[in-house]
Structure 1
Amino acid sequence: MVRIDKNSSRAYYEQLVLGIKEDILHGILQPGDKIPSVREMAKQLLMNPNTISKAYKVLETEKVLVTVKGKGTFVRAIEENPRDELRVQELKKDLNELVIEARHLQISQEELLAWIQEAEKSLGGQSS
């Protein structure tokens, strides 16, 4: 289940977005699963409903969730759509910034690659 780190520098809604994506990757949430309403999730996480709503909207825009009027919000089935190239470019930019920070801290390429492989393993993925 999603956890919010109140001491993190990352915005709460961003933590929620990543937490839901992580739950999907771990199989905790499956396509078609209903997720708590904005009010229910706000109560569970002791957060402002507007923050939850913002996260859900981001996830809907990214085609991770779908809301059906009168029924609720559900995990969307992973479709065979082409990947979102705009988001891929944003991710590449973020990775570039991470590499700059790592090099500044004298972290080797091998160590960075090991971190990526470790993260993949923790998600149940296989590195290539």
Structure 2
Amino acid sequence: MIKIDYTSSKAIYEQIYDEITRLILSKALKPDDKLPSVRELAAMTKINPNTIQKAYKVLEFENYIYSVKGRGNFVKSSDDLRILHINKLEEKLFKTIKSLKELGLKNDDISKMVDNILISN
């Protein structure tokens, strides 16, 4: 379910966040599915419960999940989340293109870069 790369420079809570958002957006986790409790996920992944809790807090803050007191954490509607995620990625793409232009690349050069990426995927 959740893969952690201990050699990555990315913080473990961020990796958990990324993995859960991936599962939600790919619809492996459906709306209103219950996530494992903090302790369950900590035991499954052998990660400190505080780290899991931090990831869950960020997921809730970013509106990927919601919590019900005494019952646990649940997945929000994936259609709304998909739109939210696409908007975030569009913002990242905008910043990347802006950085490339600041480095002196022309629109044609950037378009060729994007075309090469699209062809290779």
| Aligned counterpart, 1:4 | 4
Give the superposition deviation at 1:28.
Answer: 1.0
Corresponding position of 1:41: 41
* CA displacement 1:75-101 (0-9 Å, x = unmatched): 0124759x76xx84994388528x65x
Q: In angstroms, what is the RMSD of aligned CA positions?
A: 3.2
Q: Give the stretch that moved more between structures: 87-96 or 9-18.
A: 87-96
AA in 2 matched with 1:14: E
TM-score (normalised: structure 1): 0.68
Which residue in the other structure is 1:121 paired with?
none
Q: Which has the higher helix share?
A: 2
Question: Where does 1:34-113 land on structure 2 (aligned, <5 Å)?
Answer: 34-78=34-78, 88=88, 91-92=91-92, 95-96=95-96, 100=100, 109=110, 110-113=112-115
Greater gyration radius: 2
Distance 2:23 2:116 in 1: 23
1:20 partnered with 2:14: no
**TM-score, normalised via structure 2 length:** 0.72
Superimposed CA distance per residue, residues 52-79 of structure 1 (whole angstroms, 9 cap, x where no aligned partner): 0010000000110001001110001247
**% identity of equivalent residues:** 40
Shift of 1:113: 4.6
Contact 2:38 2:53 in 1 (8 A): yes
- Measured in 1, the distance between the counterparts of 2:91 and 2:14 equals 14
Q: Which amino acid aligns with 1:25?
A: L
Q: Which moved more, 1:2-11 or 1:88-97?
A: 88-97
Count the aligned residue pairs.
Answer: 109
In structure 2, stretches of 5+ residues that fail to align are 104-108
